[in-house]
Amino acid sequence: MQIKYEELKRRLKQKTLDPLYLFTGEEIYLIDEAIRSIKNESLTAEEQEANFHTFYADDANWDDLFPLAQTFPFVGKNRLIVLKGLEKMKKGKEETTRLLNFLKKKRLSLIIILTAEKIDQRTKFGKFLTEKAAAVHFYKLFENQVPTWIVQRVKSSGRSISLSLAQIMTQILGNDLSRLDNELTKIYLYMDQDKQITQKHLAIVSDGARIFSVFDLAKNLGEKRPEPSLKILNNLMDEGSNALLLLSMIVRQFRHLCLTKSLMQQGKGAAEVAKSIHLPMIFTRQIIEQAKIFSYERLQTLYAEFLETDLKLKSSSCSPRLILENLVVEICRDSL
Partner 1 sequence: MEFRIARDEFLRGVNIVHNVAIIKGTKPILSHLLFQAKDNRIYLYGTDLEIGIKAEAEAQILKEGSICLSAKMISDILRELPSESEVHFVLEEKNQVKITCGEICFHLLGLQAEEFPPFPQYDSGEMVSIPSNTLREMILKIGITVPMIEQKHLSAPNGALLEITEEFMEMMGTDGHRLSYIKKPGVKGLKNKVKVIFPKKSMNELKRILDDTVNVENISAGFFENQIIFKIGTTELFSRLLETYFPNIRAKIISENDKILTINRHVFRQAVKRVSLFTEEKEKYIMLQLGKGILHFSSQNLGIGDAEDQFPVEYNGPSLEIGFNSSFILDILNILGGDTIVMEMSDHESHGVIREPDNRDYLYVIMPIKLYDEEF
CB of 70 or CB of 265, closer to partner 1: 70
Contact segment (CB under 8 A) with partner 1 among 65-73, 147-155, 162-170, 231-239 equals: 65-73
Contact segment (CB under 8 A) with partner 1 among 55-63, 111-119, 227-235, 311-319 equals: 55-63
Which residue among 2, 7, 10, 72 contacts partner 1 (CB under 8 A)? 72
Instruction: Say which residues have a Cβ less than 8 Å from residue 128's Cβ, sequence separation at least 6.
Output: 100, 103, 104
Output the CA angle 215-192-209, nearest 5 degrees: 25
Q: Which of residues 191-210 bind partner 1 (CB under 8 A)?
A: none
Which residue among 3, 37, 41, 53 contacts partner 1 (CB under 8 A)? 53
DSSP letters spanning 234-287: HHHHHTT--HHHHHHHHHHHHHHHHHHHHHHHTT--HHHHHHHHT--HHHHHHH
Min dist. Cβ of residue 73 to partner 1 (A): 7
Q: If binding is defined by CB under 8 A, does position 95 make contact with partner 1?
A: no
Contact segment (CB under 8 A) with partner 1 among 58-66, 144-152, 181-189, 200-208 equals: 58-66
Q: Which of residues 117-176 bind partner 1 (CB under 8 A)?
A: 128, 132
Torsion 185-188-190-192 (CA) sign: negative
As a whole number of angstroms, the distance between CA 270 and CA 291 comes to 12
Contact segment (CB under 8 A) with partner 1 among 62-70, 201-209, 211-219, 265-273 equals: 62-70
Parallel, antiparallel, or unpaired for β 160-161 and 20-25? unpaired
Which residue among 66, 188, 212, 296 contacts partner 1 (CB under 8 A)? 66
Tell me, residue by residue from 73 to 92, as one string, x for binding to partner 1 by CB under 8 A and - for no binding: xxx-----------------
Torsion 186-187-190-191 (CA) sign: negative
CB of 20 or CB of 232, closer to partner 1: 20
Min dist. Cβ of residue 114 to partner 1 (A): 14
With contacts defined by CB under 8 A, how many residues of the chain interact with partner 1? 32
As a whole number of angstroms, the distance between CA 85 and CA 198 comes to 38
Min dist. Cβ of residue 115 to partner 1 (A): 15
CB of 112 or CB of 172, closer to partner 1: 112
Helix (H, G, I), strand (E, B) or coil at 30: helix
Q: If binding is defined by CB under 8 A, does position 17 make contact with partner 1?
A: no
CB of 128 or CB of 296, closer to partner 1: 128
Min dist. Cβ of residue 56 to partner 1 (A): 8
Packing angle of the helix pair 243-265, 296-315 (nearest 10 deg): 160
Torsion of CA 199, 201, 207, 209, to 10 degrees: 70
Burial of 240 (0-12, 13-18, 19+ CB in 10 A): exposed
Q: If binding is defined by CB under 8 A, does position 64 make contact with partner 1?
A: yes
As a whole number of angstroms, the distance between CA 1 and CA 132 comes to 6
Using CB under 8 A as the criterion, which residues of the chain lie in contact with partner 1 when the complex forms? Answer: 20, 46, 49-55, 60, 62-68, 70-75, 104-110, 128, 132
